[in-house]
Structure 1
């Protein structure tokens, strides 16, 4: 259907919201409409308004995105309701009523492919709660794509961003009962991924010693360079507050800092960014630019099944390593007890040299003079008292 020349358009903020809800970048929207990325950015900021055929194409695209958003929100409401029922967050009555509303929204937004086929009743769905693997996959599909892009903005490394998110979800699967009962599972995974990404030990890994290629866009490259010059706490605070959209207490809680300290970090980070890029002195514009920087990189997360398998393999490896270490420690202790002496034996002190004592002279052969003297003494009569010799009577 051809739209009239003056087709109505939603407000600029609604245009951006529809694009972000459909997981589209400004470059993708510009390619569909037939304009440049800077033009789409100006439309979303409200600086300019499309006209003519471009306005018709842009309005038609926003209308289709609004329909897709309504359909996605209805399905997401149903998945969240089933996930909460599987986690035990609500009772059966509340779960059934919420599921009925979600089913009604899905039937209203998405017509059935076959009109003669009846949808299963909500009671039948209530009997099939989500398994732990299904609930984990739903959380992963909801958080992983955006979290990888956020971690890339935090670190400036694509491979490290993917690895951090995968490690965070592997740890979440190992502690799934704890994560499932957490009031904010997405925040739990996000905090774990950020902690791993900002670890200082990555500098010693050979694969992360050299910088990665920067973004192709000059403005995105300049913003990323400014962010990487900030300290890790300031960069994390700025991303959580101006990028993710958390409020100040939530940002302070996730960064494990007080609210005044978090506010000071945020102000210092904004001042540093504004000093290098004066166009981003407005927090709203900074928020849009951070989202654009995160959406320019096409980073894909791994499949949830691969993450769960990797988590289980890692858990088995460390379990076997702990068992082997324990067995080796027990064997070493037993060998030590078997070969150790049963009583104390004082050590023998080493010998010491004594000075000032003349060496002992060993007897040697007699000289000629000494031999003559001995012969003379033996030949002469010995004068003296008579020897008394006992006699036997």
Structure 2
């Protein structure tokens, strides 16, 4: 048997390669501490679990769910956007439920991209933007995220001929992996640019609720005119420690969401109703829980930044997301440095180049490790890593 060319084009998944190195270290007796993958270590809040338990017991929730999402769930998304961002969302036309935001991000290119079309993809960035583009037969034009531009793409550097062929622009703020945040001015520039070239903006807002020092990230849809050319992908995974539950949504432009919803009716059967109803609790009643979560992450962030500076790495404390994006010391590639950290300290951090060529020169640390293990990891780095 021979796989399709699109499968042959798939690169090795970043964390699969890291897992191989970790397995080898553990085989040699190393107590490995993983600060690589962004998977929350804390439990889903009890009030969400309680709603889930009650809904699982209801037989009516065991049937096929609505393809676009339960009315109660879509209404909760609409109310959340109104309360949190002051954005009016029509629950009937401007919300589609997703089996986690990753699913929607991967599928949106199938709805708008034909073979040979171009998508504008941030680099470094979440690999799914480019993979979804490739599966649809499209080509990715990389938008470099550079420190000198505050890790925002420079729209003026996108060639005219590329912009005219582009179908989708993927954005993600607060950003993974750089932890950068977007300004109001930048979002305004995006709307102007994408209206000029008739490009659909797909904004991945997975980390919107994770903010520090009083910072609250905006929605792209707050920007005037954004809904005319854009949709936003949201997730409950990060804000409510629900990565395994697989529940998210897309909101915004009615035309784009109708296409996405139509695609989904042909490839999946929606989200388990009990999960949708449990998610309603988070969207409507989760503000206090999110605030407590952010206090924990902020404390962890401070510890990591303090330790990295102690060993001579000049890192800036992020305002959002649960990642620290730090420069690799001079004389190393990202892979060389992260391998050295693992070998000398038993701590796993992620090489920035795994997120794209412009991630070279950086590494990423996740805040999703409990305090005791994080303290141990920072102690090892502080005492065993000499630069």
TM-score of the superposed pair, with normalisation by structure 2? 0.23
Indicate the structure with greater strand content: 2
Larger Rg: 1
Q: Larger RCO: Structure 1 or Structure 2 (Cα < 8 Å, ≥ 6 residues apart)?
A: 2
Indicate the structure with greater helix content: 1
